């Protein structure tokens, strides 16, 4: 859709509690039918119902208990599990939906949330949305601009101080969709398991990944967080993705490819809060 | 130029061309580059280090000029089939890389890195988080940010999050 800057509006984002977290949908295009957002929210709720490992009756839970065979599942369930298996191989097992969480069985949440948001964004784009930010519990998908004259600015949360950020990213329009996903244990302890050594990974406090796909960025962030000190070198080999890590000593490191996204303190003054 | 010397140069040119067309095993890492593949120390006869530097496909200038019969500018002793050759500086995502090759009796005896990426071995940038915070500590009241990326909060914890404050602050 053609982006007409003077037609951008700013309204309170739509907030929906689903998938165990809260999703904020911040649309800046004027004149979009509200039904498009309703449709996107209904889609997210449907994904939660069918994919949640926390719901005993979900298709994922039934698959994990072997009550359901993969061949009997809908195409999108097969697609998600196929992608998760490909990511397990690509990450040398660091992303593993069979080792994730404390539930046993399958937990593809590290891929499903990002994928569901990407699909929801397609619903919004089909209705004409070109300028939006969707924040799914700390994982962000952006497109276009928030208002004329400046890009979307994303803060990376300080791992120990909930009301502070440690860095800001500028997401230049024209790149298409941009995803920012962060993994860490400071909000929910124990939900990421190291498939190699067992227990929780403890080398890093957080790992943030930027790239075109939120589902992939989310899975990469989880994998690189599990990899600890090896996470950034591994991310540097992934075309199109960049990483930013904070270690236990509160030192930030990032791949050289992450550098263009970072906003210096002096350059951020144009962005009003 | 004596015939024998010209033959020696052609041979070394082929050797150089072979060397510089050597691909690294990790060919999936072209766009962003594997920063760890370029070694800091001189690497005699290590083809993988050169491969990483020359991966963009650039051919060293001296090879082309010699093959065309021009006087090799970087060669010190062309008549004996020996000398030191300097490759063209090649740009990779982390900076310029340039290598020097020493040839004795038609064989490559040493490869030395002359220029290396400014970010060095890792291609990573590190700094303490704390100084950034002192300059950029942001609260919900002064947030110059549109949205926040962080570890996934529960729906209960959202109310206490910076994202919640940002959402509420709009219009």
Helix (H, G, I), strand (E, B) or coil at B132: helix
Q: What is the ipTM score, two decimals?
A: 0.89
Contacts of A246 (CB under 8 A, 6+ apart): A159, A166, A204, A205, A206, A207, A252, B129
* pTM (2 d.p.): 0.69
Strongest mean pLDDT among A262-271, B1-10, B11-20, B116-125:
A262-271
Greater model confidence, A64 or A217: A217
Per-residue pLDDT tens over the stretch A95-141:
999 875 555 688 999 999 999 999 999 999 999 999 999 999 999 99
- Percent residues over pLDDT 70 in chain B: 23
- Does A178 lie at the interface with B, CB-CB under 8 angstroms? no
- In the structure, what pLDDT confidence band is assigned to residue B140 with cuts at 50, 70 and 90? very low
What's the CA angle centered on A42, arms A38 and A47, to 5 degrees? 150
Cβ contact A208–B149 (<8 Å): yes
- In the structure, what pLDDT confidence band is assigned to residue A181 with cuts at 50, 70 and 90? very high
Torsion of CA A6, A9, A10, A11, to 10 degrees: 170
Measured distance CA(B69)–CA(B1) in Å, rounded: 9
Picking from A22, A156, A246, the nearest residue to B149 by CB comes out as A156
pLDDT value of position B22: 34
Min CA distance, A72 vs chain B (Å)? 31
Measured distance CA(A269)–CA(B152) in Å, rounded: 28
Measured distance CA(A73)–CA(A55) in Å, rounded: 16
pLDDT value of position B20: 38
pLDDT value of position B112: 60
Contacts of A257 in chain B (CB under 8 A): 32, 93
Contacts of B57 (CB under 8 A, 6+ apart): none
Interface of B with A in 66-125 (CB under 8 A): 93-94, 119, 122-125
Q: Strands, E, within chain A: which ranges?
A: 14-18, 21-27, 132-136, 139-143, 152-157, 165-171, 178-184, 204-211, 242-247, 251-255
- In the structure, what pLDDT confidence band is assigned to residue B83 with cuts at 50, 70 and 90? confident
DSSP A109-137: HHHHHHHHHHHHHHHHHHTT--SEEEEET
């Amino acid at each position: 859709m053609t982006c007409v800057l003077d037609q951008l509006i700013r309204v309170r984002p739509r907030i929906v509690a689903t998938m165990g977290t809260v999703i904020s949908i911040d649309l800046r295009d004027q004149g979009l039918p509200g039904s498009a957002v309703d449709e996107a929210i209904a889609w997210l709720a449907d994904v939660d119902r069918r994919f949640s490992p926390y719901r005993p009756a979900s298709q994922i839970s039934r698959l994990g208990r072997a009550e359901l065979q993969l061949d009997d599942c809908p195409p999108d369930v097969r697609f998600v599990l196929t992608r998760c298996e490909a990511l397990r191989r690509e990450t040398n097992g660091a992303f593993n939906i069979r080792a994730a969480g404390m539930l046993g069985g399958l937990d593809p949440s590290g891929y499903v949330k990002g994928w569901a948001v990407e699909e929801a964004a397609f619903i919004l784009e089909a209705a004409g949305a070109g300028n939006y930010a969707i924040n799914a519990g700390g994982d962000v998908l952006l497109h276009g601009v928030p208002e004329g004259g400046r890009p979307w600015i994303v803060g990376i949360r300080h791992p120990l101080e909930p009301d502070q950020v440690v860095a800001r990213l500028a997401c230049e329009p024209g790149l298409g969709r941009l995803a920012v996903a962060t993994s860490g244990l400071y909000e929910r302890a124990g939900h990421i398991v190291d498939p190699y050594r067992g227990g929780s990974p403890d080398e890093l406090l957080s790992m943030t990944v930027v790239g075109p796909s939120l589902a992939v960025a989310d899975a990469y962030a989880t994998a690189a967080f599990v990899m600890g000190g090896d996470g950034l070198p591994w991310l540097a080999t992934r075309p199109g993705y960049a990483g930013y890590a904070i270690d236990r000593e509160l030192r930030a490191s990032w791949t050289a490819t992450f550098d263009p996204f970072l906003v210096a303190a002096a350059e951020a003054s144009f962005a009003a809060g | 130029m004596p015939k024998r010397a010209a033959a020696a140069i052609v041979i070394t040119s082929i050797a150089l061309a072979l060397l510089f067309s050597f691909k690294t095993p990790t060919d999936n890492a072209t766009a962003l580059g594997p920063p760890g593949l370029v070694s800091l120390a001189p690497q005699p006869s290590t083809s993988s280090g050169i491969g990483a530097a020359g991966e963009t496909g650039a051919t060293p200038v001296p090879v082309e000029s010699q093959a065309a019969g021009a006087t090799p500018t970087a060669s010190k002793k062309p008549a004996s089939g020996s000398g030191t050759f300097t490759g063209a500086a090649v740009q990779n995502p982390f900076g310029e890389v340039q290598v020097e090759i020493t040839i004795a009796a038609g064989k490559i005896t040493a490869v030395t890195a002359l220029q290396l990426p400014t970010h060095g071995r890792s291609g990573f940038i590190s700094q303490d988080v704390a100084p950034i915070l002192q300059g950029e500590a942001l609260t919900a009241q002064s947030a110059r940010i549109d949205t926040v990326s962080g570890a996934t909060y529960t729906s209960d914890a959202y109310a206490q999050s910076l994202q919640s404050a940002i959402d509420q602050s709009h219009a």
